[in-house]
Amino acid sequence: MSDRRFRFGVAGSPTTGEEWVKTVRQAADLGYSTVLMPDGLQLPAPFASLAMAAAVADIRVGTFVAAAPLRTPRQAAWEAHTLTVLTDGRFEFGIGTGRPVAEQQTAEIGLPWGTARERREQVIATLDLLRELDGERRTPIMLAAGGPKALALAAARADIVSIAKDATTPRSEVAAVARELRELAGSRADDIELAMNLLAAGTRPLPPWTKRASGVDPDELEAMDSLMLLRGTPQEMADELLRRRDQIGASYISVNSGYLEDFAPVIELLDGK
């Protein structure tokens, strides 16, 4: 389905600067192409964190993904453009309408949450303003999309698409969403990189926090063949990613930073493939 070469990212959630620097440098040394930062008031601010990451290692950086309601469109575009300039083009701007948890956080900073339509319009306004600020230098855009309207927007505007489905979504349904995205994209389909994020990789037992992240007990998550897990030996994991690329088209794979070392042998096995 896709002959795009694999690349790999690490999604971090640091609690200290020392921890973040260690993660970024280790990711660069192990062959990851990108370090990614989620968005939420419970974490360090993403744009400042990514500026720091880009300064300590020669690696790409990206928001995964910024919640549009947490900033005005002009503010978000300004932050994104600044990182593109200061990193000399190593920044990828991931943006979405915000997970449900962001509603309370938006209220905390005094901004409106808005309807689903209004939040989509915020994303569009942000992208339009960023294009104006960028001029000839264009920031790569990642959009999280799952529903019909979000998929249509991603098909028209995104360079990278992360399919926004929960951990219990069957493989066949994710593949169907990926097909719909390509159909909507038309002539742009081959230009879109499909991303997939992993909560866990390798053979270690799943930690308790996977239930908070997925809403499902770890044992159930294992039993349902969730695409948010990648289990087995390095060779088994590499083979499974080749299957996912063939079935779904996903070639940009990110992993939770707690599994950075567990996943590293897979990068070696899939290097250049």
CATH number for 41: 3.20.20.30
Domain-embedded: residue 39 = yes
Task: Give 139-198 pLDDT, tens digit per residue.
Answer: 999 998 888 999 999 999 999 999 888 889 999 999 999 999 999 999 999 999 999 999
Asked if the model's pLDDT at residue 215 lies above 90, the reply is no
Asked if the model's pLDDT at residue 4 lies above 80, the reply is yes
Domain-embedded: residue 26 = yes
Asked if the model's pLDDT at residue 213 lies above 90, the reply is no
Domain-embedded: residue 29 = yes
Task: Give 105-153 pLDDT, tens digit per residue.
Answer: 999 999 999 999 999 999 999 999 999 999 999 999 999 888 899 999 9
Give the per-residue pLDDT at 1.
57
* Residue-range definition of the domain harbouring residue 19: 7-269
* pLDDT, average across residues 62-82: 97
Domain-embedded: residue 188 = yes
Domain-embedded: residue 103 = yes
Domain-embedded: residue 1 = no
pLDDT band at 104 (very low <50, low <70, confident <90, very high): very high
Total number of domains in the chain: 1
**pTM, entire model:** 0.95
Domain-embedded: residue 245 = yes
Give the per-residue pLDDT at 119.
95
Of 64-78, 117-131, 205-219, give the lowest mean pLDDT range: 205-219
The span from the CA of 133 to the CA of 141, in Å, is 14
Contacts of 202 (CB under 8 A, 6+ apart): 230, 231, 232, 237, 259, 262, 263
Domain-embedded: residue 137 = yes
Buried-state track 189-198, b at ≥16 Cβ within 10 A, e below 16: eeebbbbbbb
Give the per-residue pLDDT at 236.
97
